Amino acid sequence: MDDRVLAGLSPRQREIAGLIREIGRIGVDELAARFQVTPQTIRRDLNDLSDARLIARVHGAAIAASGVENLAYDARKLVAQAQKQRIGRACAELIPDNSSLFINLGTTTEEVGRALSGRQGLMVVTNNVNVVTELYRNPSIEVVVAGGSLRTSDGGIVGRMAAEMFRQFKADIAIIGTSAIDADGTLLDYDLREVQVSRAIIENARRVMLVTDSSKFSRRAPVRIARLDEIDVLVTDRLPDGEIAELCRSRQVEVIETDPEAEPSAETAKPAA
């Protein structure tokens, strides 16, 4: 953290920022109990940290916010875990047996893989070692693993060799994740090598499904993956109102919300400036 930013924070706020960076997501009530203060006090702390761009606010909680570096894999798994599981199951329901699939990197795409693990007649091409682990035991699923550089931080295979592998196929459906979604509908990531693979996946699939939890609408990342108009189906827990919703309507992106009753509130993530 910048020393000038730290100087403007209370000791409790500095500790909260460190906790969120370490574990990825933490709830208001949990923080209030930990520091023995009221939820209102924690909300004020989180507002200050959000204004300093050290965290992002989400409903009832806060998550780490970074524009240039992704969270550690174990922390990413904890962010919106229940929402990701529901998104994974909803996406899997859209995929017929006897289909060919691309699945790229991400903790949400891994939930899709988990939801598909009992299916029949699938051919899955993936650069995600964690998806391979979910699927390889089923003899009714043929798993093709892309070659390339293994990213030991999260079991992702990235780079030009992996991208070329995907270009050897034409899949019925691509299931992709993203690290952030800009207000103009640009899908973003942190690793250029990963984006090379994601581009090859999008360009060689007949239908593209994006799976992402709503926290990604308030995050930032530096590398462009694609535009919303390259996506056929968006599966999310809740689509934010405003520009993104209008973009989906105008560009005929089918939207499936798994938690449509979740309403925005003062806790909802603010878009980064």
What residue numbers bound the domain in which 56 lies? 3-65
Q: What is the pLDDT of residue 220?
A: 80
Beta strands in the chain (DSSP E): 25-27, 55-58, 61-64, 100-103, 122-126, 141-145, 149-151, 156-158, 171-176, 180-181, 186-189, 205-211, 223-227, 233-236, 254-257
| Residue where one domain finishes, among candidates 40, 65, 90 | 65
Do 124 and 206 lie in one domain? The reply is yes
Place 118 in a pLDDT band, splitting at 50, 70 and 90: very high
Residues 26 and 84 in one domain: no
Query: For residue 5, what pLDDT is reported?
Result: 61
Q: pTM of the full predicted structure?
A: 0.75
- How do residues 91-113 score in pLDDT, each as one tens digit? 999 999 999 999 999 999 999 99
Q: 247-272: per-residue pLDDT in tens? A: 999 999 999 999 977 554 333 333 33
We report the CATH number of the domain holding residue 11 as 1.10.10.10
- Apex 65 CA angle, 59 and 68, nearest 5: 150
Low-confidence winner among 92-96, 174-178, 186-190, 263-267 (lowest mean pLDDT): 263-267
> 119 and 247 in one domain?
yes
More confident residue, 73 or 116: 116
CATH code, domain with 201: 3.40.50.1360
115 and 15 within one domain? no
Query: Is there a single domain that holds both residue 118 and residue 151?
Result: yes
Q: Is residue 49 part of a domain?
A: yes
Residue 4 has a CB neighbour count (10 Å cut-off) of 8
Query: From residue 58, how far is each of 21, 131, 221 by CA, in Å?
Result: 15, 27, 18
One domain for residues 21 and 81: no
Same domain for 82 and 173?
A: yes
User: What is the share, in percent, of the chain residues with pLDDT greater than 90?
Assistant: 66
Average pLDDT, the chain: 87
Same-domain status, 61 and 89: no
pLDDT at 57: 80
R_g of the chain, CA atoms, integer Å: 19
Phi, psi of 104 (to 5 degrees): -100, -160
Q: List the beta bridge partners of residue 103.
A: 126, 175
Phi-psi region of 201 (alpha: psi -120 to 50; beta: other; left: phi over 0): alpha
58 and 81 housed in the same domain: no
The whole-number pLDDT of residue 128 equals 96
* Overall domain count for the chain: 2
At 29-50, the pLDDT tens digits run 999 999 999 999 999 999 888 8
d(CA 140, CA 126): 16
Token pair 């995600």 is at which residue?
128
